Chain A
Amino acid sequence: MWYLCVFFHRLLDYRKPEVESLAELFGAFGDNQNGDFSSKNRSLEWKLPLHHHPDSPFHFVNLPSEDVARNIANRSILVKGMYELWGEGGSYEELKDSILSYPDERKLPYLDSNSTFKITVDTFGKVTSFQEQKELIQGLSYIPFKGQVKLKNPDHNFWLIETDDYGANNGLPPIVQKSIFFAREVGSADRKLIPTYQLKSRKYLGPTAMDAEMAFLMANQAVATSGKLVYDPFVGTGSILVAAAHFGAMTMGADIDIRVVRDGRGPDCNVWSNFKQYGLPMPIGLLRADNNLPPWRPGLKEVFDAIICDPPYGVRAGGRKSGGRKLLKGAVEPYVVPDDKRTDHIPSTASYSLVECVHDLLDLAARMLIMGGRLVFFYPVLREDDFAANHFPEHPCFKLIATSEQILSSRYSRVLLTMVKTDPYTEELAEAARLKHIDFRENHLKWLEDGNLHSAVFSPADAHLTLTGDSKFTKEPKPKYRGKYV
């Protein structure tokens, strides 16, 4: 059945992938047992209301049942509500005809005299006064409401939603015609999560702690839920795992910086305390380990249900790996730690480029994820490059199912990649992946080598302008309302 899906008008790229991930979680695509993971369809059918721009907050989505629609809406971060549409039109006359022609058997059960109801007027792109709202509601008297009005927790919520010419205010292209929807609410989102988990009230924070809204979106992309084990190899202060734990997943994290995972800022200000603060179960494992040389036992595979992380890309935080002084181009012999100093020795680390980091991450995920498990991570892109021409890392064990861009500055953005493991890990595939990686590194990733991304983001503005100055006139400017501008 088709439902009207209304989104919050933000993080536009993340909206449909989130609904599709949750649809998978709530069984919209059938059971996962013995599934063929590569050919499995993980996308939903979508439609736009007449004349609406793809970035419009109004969409129609085809879902197998009302329960699925409700579950998706209740857990989603970006869905404002899912509704059963009773009528739509460009004017109130059209709306009336449309509502009256909607089949009675769909309407009457919700208009029963033993039920309570409420009608809410909502508008997108304009403000309506209480008086106008009252008049609009009274204008619906042709619908035979028999129930009692109840403003708090009614049995049925009805919405009258009007969109107007919002183009002037938010950068969306002007709409051709106003549209009005009348719909019954099936489920709505719980945005209270975000103020509860917002970073400014979090006890232990690092410079790259993941914003709460984004962390929840990542956990939803990873379909984190009770009984699943989620791993973050760059755990830091645990900000991503907090979101996964909120949804009931067991969590495990590693970081190369022992001060971050072990010490924090004191006994009540560390990774553990971030979970305690929200009454969440503690991570079942935290360790100090190097993503380049992970300490997993040989033969261990397919243990994690999802890997979610924000790898260090060297813009706000750089990556480190083991083996510092050894790597000084052979000029220095491998440093040998004297026996009497071994106990408290602090090993030096070497810088860890994003290219290598992503390769290790894919290799780890290919081995350690269960079949059908998800790898969700951020990947930086420079905005000067044509977005369509951007190449994302690939691995033969994985299928890329969603890419969602979040613009961070005029120069770069980060893209949340969601991959599903579709093929089992074998030594041959690992080798094929290594060769593919080398090719990828040579062809697409030059700019991601040590420091290049950092300098692209932080180099003086003048140099940047002269470089791109000529092409400015030929290229369409990026629309500003994507990502953080909405």
Chain B
Amino acid sequence: MRLLTHNMLSSNIKGVTNGFPLRIEAEKVVEKVVEMNADFLKKMFEKIDWKAFADASRAMGYAELPEEADSSMLESDEFLQRYHHALLELHLEEGALICPETGRRFPVNKGIPNMLLHEDEV
């Protein structure tokens, strides 16, 4: 699971109001090289919740992202490179996503987050 996916997900258990962001419990993080597409990164920048993204990158052991970011920073290649690396190249291979409200664990195995709810959660 890449951080782009993480940034889009929340805990949707019935009754949960603050299901975002899911806390990352990282057991195994891998890096996979992805070709950089600046247009895509710029487009996604507007959709991303930066605070959650930067926190998530730290939980994955990558501390190079600034706490806050605004679109003027996209002009910098160095920033773009870090942003690209954190968004698309860091993979959570094994671990879990934790619902911030209930503490429910959504396991991540082989890079696939399992977001399906139990019978009593829907």
Contact = CB atoms under 8 A, between A and B. Distances in A.
Interface string A259-271: 0011100000000
B49 to A, nearest CB: 8
A281 B118 contact: no
A473 interface: no
What's the dominant secondary structure at chain A's contact region?
Answer: loop
B119 A263 contact: no
Contact of A284 (B2, B105, B114, B122): B2
Nearest to A228: B40
B57 to A, nearest CB: 16
A450 interface: no
A352 B86 CA distance: 37
A282 B115 contact: no
B112 interface: yes
A284 B119 contact: no
Given A252-B5, A335-B119, A342-B118, A288 B37 contact: no
A298 interface: yes
Interface string A292-304: 0111111010110
A149 interface: no
Contacts of B114: 258, 262, 287-288
Contacts of B1: 285, 287
Interface in A332-369: 334-337, 342-343, 345, 347-348
Of A226, A262, A285, A295, most B-chain CB atoms within 10 Å: A295
A227 interface: yes
B63 interface: no
B117 to A, nearest CB: 5
A326 interface: yes
Contact of A262 (B39, B109, B119, B122): B109
Contacts of A326: 119-120, 122
A263 B110 CA distance: 8
B18 to A, nearest CB: 9
Nearest to B35: A281
A335 B121 CA distance: 10
Of B19, B40, B49, most A-chain CB atoms within 10 Å: B40
A294 B112 contact: no
Given A227-B40, A261-B112, A281-B34, A334 B9 contact: no
A371 interface: no
Contacts of A347: 116-119
Given A287-B1, A287-B112, A296 B10 contact: yes
A433 interface: no
A252 B37 CA distance: 16
Given A250-B40, A293-B117, 19 more contacts: A256-B116, A262-B114, A284-B5, A284-B88, A285-B5, A287-B113, A287-B114, A288-B115, A290-B117, A295-B11, A296-B10, A297-B7, A297-B8, A297-B9, A297-B20, A302-B47, A323-B119, A334-B119, A347-B116
8 contacts: A229-B40, A284-B88, A288-B113, A290-B115, A293-B12, A295-B9, A324-B119, A347-B117
Interface of A: 226-227, 229, 250, 252, 256, 258, 261-263, 281-282, 284-290, 293-298, 300, 302-303, 322-326, 334-337, 342-343, 345, 347-348
Sorted from nearest, which 3 A-B pairs have the closest CB atoms? A285-B5, A297-B10, A297-B20
Interface of B: 1-2, 4-5, 7-12, 19-21, 32, 34-35, 37, 39-40, 43-44, 47, 49, 88, 105, 109-120, 122
